[in-house]
Structure 1
Amino acid sequence: MKHLYTLFLVFTTSVAFAQLAPPAELEPYYSNVDFTSTGISLKNDLIDLTTDKHINFLSYSDVWEASKITDLDADNSNNIILLYGYSDTDNNVTTDRTRAKNANGGGVGDWNREHVYPKSRGNPNLGTSGPGSDAQMLRPSDVQRNGQRGNLVFANKSTGQFLNGESGSTNGGWYPGDEWKGDCARIIMYMYLHYGERCLPSNVGIGSNTSTPDDMIDLFLQWNAEDPVVEGGLEDVRNAYHANTSNEYAQGNRNPFIDNPYLATAIWGGPDAQNRWENLSIEDVSQNTIKMYPNPVNGNEVTILSNKDIIAEVYDILGKKVKVQSISSNQSKLNISGLSQGVYLVKLNSENGTETKRLIKQ
């Protein structure tokens, strides 16, 4: 049985890395970064960039307003997306994936600001200003689910646990859910990049740093590879908003590991993560635009729009290929009637290359 994690999680044994060059729209932002370098040298360039571009320091109250803009549900602009959430249909408010955007507060049924890097695990405490009010790190979360996580460190789930992608307590820590583990890993990487020893990865995750040149741990490198960035998804929307200083609540800086998860591989080694800049050109993007919706999906069909013929390969969260379907440019339905509830990766292969999207079946 071939597992998808064999594609993502084979640890690099060579010092050779893929060439990195940001696409044209990101070149101005990254103009001072030497992408021919790797390891700590590349990390230092990204530290300088991330710090220098952070020109608007939001108050803790400002983050409420920023979140109502950056974390909107693409399918319902009256709602925001909740970190750690996984179901809107199980009649359990604490597991909700979406919530009315103005239902923020501190009561049952409200959403609040989750410190993905818990305040108390910073050295010193992150507080509610500076790193403690960094909107790249704070995410909306159900109040009770946020309380269940508390300041638990991140940990891998046990075998056979959370088979439908749920979040929850595990192995003395907290598993953020199949949909969110990559998001959380890239946030922790950003915090370490921006705030250094005040936000050590080893203080917030169960894993080893013996194979990395500093304090990065293998857990976050694994999650970054296993759960790639969804093209045009929530992480991209948040990043684009905060990079645009004309936006009222924009910080000015980006999370580089969202722009390209492979930057983590180039700095710290470990499993080969998604390289969003590999063989990318404006011509390729215009030639083959692929959209997939609705997502999450409650039914048995997903619409895939493409101007090229594609082959869709669907993998479950353990990496097992569970479906293959050819989809022509004039036939746009992917049949998922045989799939149970959970999180899947959909590889969309065309003559111009491969695009990977995350699919949630509720």
Structure 2
Amino acid sequence: MKTPLLFFISICFMQLSFSQVVINELDCDTPGVDNMEFLELLSDTPNFPLDGYVVVFFNGSTSGMNSSYFTVDLDGYVTDINGLLLIGSNSVSPVPQVLISENVFQNGADAVAIYQANATDFPEETVATIDNLVDVLIYGTADADDVDMINIFNQDPRFADIQQINEGPGNNTNSIQRFVDMDDNVTYTATDPTPRQLNDGSGVVLNGISMSVAQTQYNEDEAFDITFTSETPVTETLNFNILLDNFGFDSSDFTGNTAITIPMNQSTASTTITLIDDSDDEGDEVTRIRFESLPVAYLALNNNLQIRIVDNDFTVANFGTPLNPTFGNVTSAQPAGYYNTLDGLADDDLRQALQNIIADPSVVRAQTYADVLDILMDADQNPLNSNQVWLLYTEQGRAKLDLQTGSDNNGKWNREHTYPRSRGGFNDIEADEIADGVDVFWTTKADSLRHGNSDAHALRAADGPQNSTRGSQHYGQYTGPVATQGSFYGDVARSVLYMEIRYNGLQVVNGFPENGPGELGDLATLLDWHRNDPPDDFEMNRNNIVYTWQFNRNPFIDQPDLVEYIWGTNVGDTWDQELNVTEFDVNTVKVYPNPSNGRISIQGLNTDAVVNVLSVEGRQIKAIKGSANNVIDFNLASGMYVLHIISEEKTVVKKLLVR
């Protein structure tokens, strides 16, 4: 057996009366992602109702100022046959009676206290108090003593000698456990965790039941077994039920027995669940297998077992992914005349007129940061599979269900700010955590910089670890993962250029500035990305979808040449929408992507063209017919080539690098 790390610290030397409820055990820090943290309470009588009690966690850091950051209202909960109530995440075994998210508890120096009060009495940032105090534990993980916190609680005579208890260094495997000796002296020990067990080993020993399945993912029409195993053979026939429903997944999606029996003197039972193959495009679903009614002599060692059900009825869009783009299949949903006020303007007048459109406070809406998740599941949907989102930097699809909800981002997707929060100076408020739907919104204007935090034109679905890798780097510093094709280059360029026009206080500049919030680089890189990766159907589709929520559009997707008139080669020229849409100009013909893998598209053509491919020595290799924005596959070896593009009796010469 592992040798305990002992910290037998007596918090007082006088005899203490036993409170009705005390903090019996705390595990504030566990290795890895802190998913095994728990708090255990102990009542002086078994099956004790905890109505009227609340648990409050206080932040003892300098910025926390000994104020509350998390509460658990205990109304409706009852301690078990041993007087124990466990609070923790579903990853804790045995599974707690009170379930909370993973990685909630702070390591310290902090405090957790029980009060006879309501959770509403402790809104966030309530300073610790001894009013209505029942019990308290001040703890840390090799932290200096929080003297201010100690001084608050030792004003209560019962805790006049309170000390800070050390669980061990960071990522330790201990928990802090409470012990009372024969003379009622209370001490604490940091040792191996014992959730749902009395710390001294006494009490009723409960028989643990676990459930298991062979896989965590099955397709519609497949079957799987759920096996139930008790720690020791049952002394009498054990009957219990299980539930599988979870959101849209219900009894219409499966068949199988959900009433389970483990015969006397045996320790296992199983049931077979068959998934129904329907014809509905309902998306991937998750069943949550859980015990419905275990007798009091049994413990659920695990619960809420999640199994993904892959829907085989997903749809495929009529347009391509950014890796294999299509053009012209998705048309802009801009209202008639949306950009008409830009005609005849140049320079600052053009900028201001454009901002007047996309930041019009009488029209444009701001949604919450939580709403953005719903927007992205639609706007960034993978064209090849409606059950997935398309990830920005890693250029791949990922199940919509794999949204990051905890601290672990591996294999998850989350929201990426193309204009980083720290550089934009964005912030959020408590209301941002509420997804209240498309019809509930804030009025917003050009000075509403805070709303940049949830502007879906500049938020994209991204791989969690890759989002962390990008961090707040400027584009040009960050160019994407190794071996990706850069299909996101134009997308991010247009999104951050949109942000400069949409919000006052933002500017896209040359270089990599470190002058505080507001500036993002590198402009030259982003202009190059915009030119070589023009808007495709995927980007136009997301522009249309975001418009239905925010009532504004990214103009650089609808009218990509506007970029040149504001930052590029046409600065100072007068914008004329009609001419820029229809007039053929050899200076606006673009080949992309460049560098390429041999597959390119040509932007700026009004009619079909002949594309002559020449070596750098001038030898013609092939001639291919091309048209505006259609993908051309040259099937060329790696190297540098010269393209002679002939259309409307005009010739454009472009260099092409094939990797």
Q: 2:558: which partner in 1?
A: 259
Higher helix share: 1
The one of 457, 470, 494 aligned to 1:149: 470
Give the distance between the partners of 1:216 and 1:301, measured in 2 at CA.
29
The one of 365, 373, 388 aligned to 1:79: 388
Structure number with greater Rg is 2
Q: 2:461: which partner in 1?
A: 140
The one of 338, 344, 352 aligned to 1:29: 338
Q: 1:219: which partner in 2?
A: 524
The one of 45, 69, 72 aligned to 2:353: 45
Give the distance between the partners of 2:620 and 2:389, measured in 1 at CA.
31
Q: Secondary structure at the match of 1:60?
A: coil
Give the distance between the partners of 2:512 and 2:621, measured in 1 at CA.
34
Task: State the shift of 1:259 in Å.
Answer: 1.4
Which amino acid letter does the alignment assign opposite residue 345 of structure 2?
S
Task: State the shift of 1:122 in Å.
Answer: 1.9
CA distance 1:191–1:336, shift in 2 (3 Å): same
Contact 1:122 1:200 in 2 (8 A): no
Deviations 1:126-161 (A, max 9, x none): 77661101101100100010010111122267xxxx
CA distance 1:312–1:84, shift in 2 (3 Å): farther
Structure with the bigger RCO (C-alpha within 8 Å, sep 6+) is: 1
Structure 2, unpaired ranges of 5+? 1-331, 433-449, 585-592, 602-606, 652-657
The one of 150, 159, 167 aligned to 2:480: 167
Contact 2:489 2:529 in 1 (8 A): yes
Task: State the shift of 1:301 in Å.
Answer: 9.0
Deviations 1:89-118 (A, max 9, x none): xxxxxxxx2212332225311111001111
Which amino acid letter does the alignment assign opposite residue 266 of structure 1?
Y
Task: State the shift of 1:254 in Å.
Answer: 0.5
Contact 2:342 2:353 in 1 (8 A): yes
Give the distance between the partners of 2:545 and 2:555, measured in 1 at CA.
14
Task: State the shift of 1:76 in Å.
Answer: 2.7
TM-score, normalised with respect to structure 2 = 0.34
Q: 1:206: which partner in 2?
A: 512
Task: State the shift of 1:276 in Å.
Answer: 9.3
Q: Secondary structure at the match of 1:78?
A: strand
CA distance 1:314–1:189, shift in 2 (3 Å): farther
Q: 2:545: which partner in 1?
A: 241
Equivalent residues, number: 273
Contact 1:80 1:99 in 2 (8 A): yes
Which amino acid letter does the alignment assign opposite residue 453 of structure 2?
G
CA distance 1:324–1:56, shift in 2 (3 Å): farther
Which amino acid letter does the alignment assign opposite residue 376 of structure 2?
S
Which amino acid letter does the alignment assign opposite residue 343 of structure 2?
F
Structure 1, unpaired ranges of 5+? 1-22, 87-96, 158-165, 170-175, 209-213, 285-294, 316-320, 355-360
Give the distance between the partners of 2:528 and 2:600, measured in 1 at CA.
26
Contact 2:475 2:525 in 1 (8 A): no
Which amino acid letter does the alignment assign opposite residue 261 of structure 1?
P
Give the distance between the partners of 1:301 and 1:225, measured in 2 at CA.
18
Which amino acid letter does the alignment assign opposite residue 624 of structure 2?
S
Q: 1:162: which partner in 2?
A: none
Give the distance between the partners of 1:146 and 1:314, measured in 2 at CA.
39
Contact 1:311 1:324 in 2 (8 A): no
Give the distance between the partners of 1:270 and 1:134, measured in 2 at CA.
28
Q: 1:65: which partner in 2?
A: 374
Contact 1:224 1:261 in 2 (8 A): no
CA distance 1:100–1:221, shift in 2 (3 Å): closer
Give the distance between the partners of 1:78 and 1:352, measured in 2 at CA.
47
CA distance 1:24–1:155, shift in 2 (3 Å): closer
Give the distance between the partners of 1:347 and 1:196, measured in 2 at CA.
43
Task: State the shift of 1:168 in Å.
Answer: 4.3
Higher strand share: 2
TM-score, normalised with respect to structure 1 = 0.59
Contact 2:476 2:522 in 1 (8 A): no
Task: State the shift of 1:207 in Å.
Answer: 7.2
Q: 1:114: which partner in 2?
A: 416
Q: Secondary structure at the match of 1:196?
A: coil
Contact 1:216 1:268 in 2 (8 A): no
CA distance 1:51–1:300, shift in 2 (3 Å): closer
Contact 1:310 1:328 in 2 (8 A): yes
Give the distance between the partners of 1:220 and 1:301, measured in 2 at CA.
22
Task: State the shift of 1:261 in Å.
Answer: 2.3
Which amino acid letter does the alignment assign opposite residue 366 of structure 2?
F
Contact 2:513 2:520 in 1 (8 A): no
Q: 1:181: which partner in 2?
A: 489
Q: 2:63: which partner in 1?
A: none
